[in-house]
Chain A
Amino acid sequence: MSSTGGKDVDEAESAQFAGLLEDSLEDLYDNAPCGYLSTLMDGRIAKVNATLLEWLGYSAEQLVGRRRFADLLTVGGKLYHETHFAPLLSMQHHVSGIALELKGADGRRLPVLVTSTVKTGTQGQPVLIRTTLFDARDRRTYENELLRARQEAEAAGIEAEQARRTAEAERARLQQVVSILRTSLLPPDLPRVPGLQAAAYYHPASVDEIGGDFYDLFPLGGGRWGFFLGDVCGKGPKAAAVTSLVRYTLRAAFLVDPDPERALATLDAAVRERYTGPDATYCTAIAGTVTRDGEAHTVTLASGGHPPALLLRADRTAHFLTTSGGQLVGALADPRFVRATTVLGPGETLLLYTDGLTEARTKAGPRYSEENLRTFAASLAPVGAHALIDALTDLLERFGDGLEDDTALLALGMSSHPDMG
């Protein structure tokens, strides 16, 4: 029973499928979801399917034997066909996926993807070309979007490159300005002081920004010399302006009165008078005089909130010349400045520095510190001013990125043979 029943079903299904069977080749050809085209080797159209005729708006009679495939293309497409498509087809006997545009009877354009194959005869000679054409409108829209996006990206890339170059040129110009300004705020060369070695070094933390460190050494007449070193609050153009004010005020103050405490008081008044209210600023400084006294030099200095000067003695020791209790210059109503005096004998050197050095980050992590500086200096003593500055310059180099702030150094020393000074 079951086998008979199965057979009945098979027959019924066969009958049902027979009606659906794709057994009409003509229908398969004509109503395929793509255009079909056969051309002779000279390009003349031999056969064309209904789908393609419908897309183009032509009848078979208008095309067969009368038109060539290239005639259905836009002019650009014709050129492309002649220079690329036809030569390739001739050489390979197959070309696939070429994007071309058809021109319909009404002039309408239809983007298509074209694939062609050469059919050869029994002797292998080419007989005709079979071509399929797929509607590529959506794909072309998508491709145009991709192309547009690429062109936009390229344009943006060019723009970004130009912006980068402009910024680079701006930066170079700024660095040049900063460099010139920095040079103008420091003495070009230290003067030659009889019997005394003088050396200085300025290390900018950044080539883009001007810091506020300053120093100077200048003659006051009668064998006396004035000097100072300090640090203005902040960085940039305002710090540069304050530095300029500080430098000229201190020089002028010393010329009128060589007392370092009073020179700092004059500076304090000038800073507070010029920078008031929200514009207020301040600096720290050590200012002093050095006077030849027989075989030695007497140093008198005063500090306004500045780290203490370091003395490197002939007996291979180094200690700070204490000035603690000195207050910031320009910040307070009636600041106190602290005075200290010492004598530099042969082989002895006085070092002034800003806290860029003592607050540099070491590779190990902690800040360098005044105590480390003192130990380092003691290991060098006795040492002349130039050798000391050279050693400290090397030390600053080794800090690398750890040096976060500008650093100014000024050393005044008696050589071991004072007359060689």
Chain B
Amino acid sequence: MDVIDRNNVTVTGRSDGPTLLLAHGFGCDQNLWRLVLPTLAERFRVVLFDYVGSGRADPAAWDPERYSSLDGYAEDVLEVCAELDLTDAVFVGHSVSAMVGVLAAAREPERFGKLVMLAPSPRYIDDPADGYVGGFTAEDIDELLASLDSNYLGWSAAMAPVIMGNPERPELGQELTNSFCATDPAMAAVFARTTFLSDTRAELASVTVPTLVLDCTTDVIAPPEVGAFVHAAVPGSRLVTLPATGHCPQLSAPEATAEQIVAFAGAPR
């Protein structure tokens, strides 16, 4: 299977610029970057992709076992890197993807020159054993999975050929509202469980590249305690709190987010 098609890889921006690899988190797909993309594309060669099970990645490549672990998503990242022969790229990971980037960089360090962790969380569930604040209980996660079950958000059997890139029937994509982020509910449920039950706190110390941690003033998914934890655990990292609310600063505060990424990624190492 061609990785470019499988992960719906898009390469845009300045072909002679440094490479930014933008990785979406749970819930949507590469569309999430669209407000910061114009600014980033002026300076960088930008690589976007969808994880298998999200957006317009090939549903035929879905493997519930592989994608029941964050390592499976890290493999997607490394396979995209290998396909494009990336070295020294700046990896920008949103939410759970920030941790996917940490896992990928530990396995193939030469691929990554810097890490940007946007609203990251290495563990969403509180850990009473050591007083870690993640923001959620295990029951909360079950409730989220129930929400996924009752909301299909643009997914339907008719959507499948569009996601698989069926050019003969372009009208299918137009008929459905909420067609961004269309995901098979069964795949979304696996990604949700993998994301929200993950605990990758121990991996943070393995990071050896310059790292920028970006969090938001108000974020119900990754509260300020989590951003501070990540900053403290990643050696030599910088923490910047964006003037943004919610969990998606690249949508709620795109200028500030792009500005921080450009300044960090463009600076000499």
A residues near B (Cβ < 8 Å) are 41-43, 68, 70, 74-80, 82-84, 86-88, 90-92, 94-96, 98-100, 140, 143, 147
Contacts and interface: CB of A to CB of B under 8 A. Distances in A.
A147 B152 CA distance: 13
B178 A80 contact: no
Given A86-B246, A92-B177, A76 B251 contact: no
Interface in B186-207: 196
Which of A42, A43, A100, A147 neighbours the largest number of chain B CB atoms within 10 Å of its CB? Answer: A42
B31 A91 contact: yes
B191 to A, nearest CB: 10
Nearest to A94: B177
B26 to A, nearest CB: 6
B144 A76 contact: yes
A200 B51 CA distance: 66
Contacts of B220: 70, 78-79, 82
B153 A75 contact: no
Contact of B246 (A82, A94, A147): A82
A79 B252 contact: no
A74 to B, nearest CB: 6
A84 B141 CA distance: 15
B12 interface: no
Contacts of B62: none
Nearest to B28: A87
B142 A84 contact: no
Contacts of B150: 99, 140, 143, 147
A80 B181 contact: no
B229 interface: no
B126 to A, nearest CB: 12
B259 interface: no
A82 B221 contact: yes
B143 A75 contact: yes
26 contacts: A42-B218, A42-B245, A42-B252, A43-B246, A70-B220, A76-B145, A76-B147, A79-B141, A79-B196, A80-B151, A82-B221, A82-B247, A82-B248, A83-B26, A83-B247, A84-B153, A86-B252, A87-B251, A88-B153, A90-B251, A90-B252, A91-B32, A91-B34, A92-B178, A95-B177, A96-B178
B38 interface: no
A83 to B, nearest CB: 3
B248 A79 contact: no
Contact of A95 (B31, B141, B178): B178
A143 B147 CA distance: 12
Nearest to A82: B247
A133 to B, nearest CB: 15
Interface of B: 25-28, 31-32, 34-35, 95, 136-137, 140-151, 153, 177-178, 180-181, 196, 218-221, 245-248, 251-252
A42 B32 CA distance: 17
Contacts of B26: 83
A87 B146 contact: no
A88 B245 contact: no
Given A43-B246, A82-B219, 12 more contacts: A68-B218, A78-B220, A79-B147, A79-B220, A82-B248, A83-B28, A87-B180, A88-B28, A88-B153, A92-B178, A95-B177, A96-B178
Contacts of A86: 246-248, 251-252
Contacts of A42: 218, 245-246, 252
B25 A43 contact: no
Contacts of B145: 76
Contacts of B196: 79
Nearest to B96: A83
B222 to A, nearest CB: 9
A147 B196 CA distance: 23
Contacts of B28: 83-84, 87-88
B151 A83 contact: no
A235 B100 CA distance: 67
Contacts of A68: 218, 245
Nearest to B31: A91
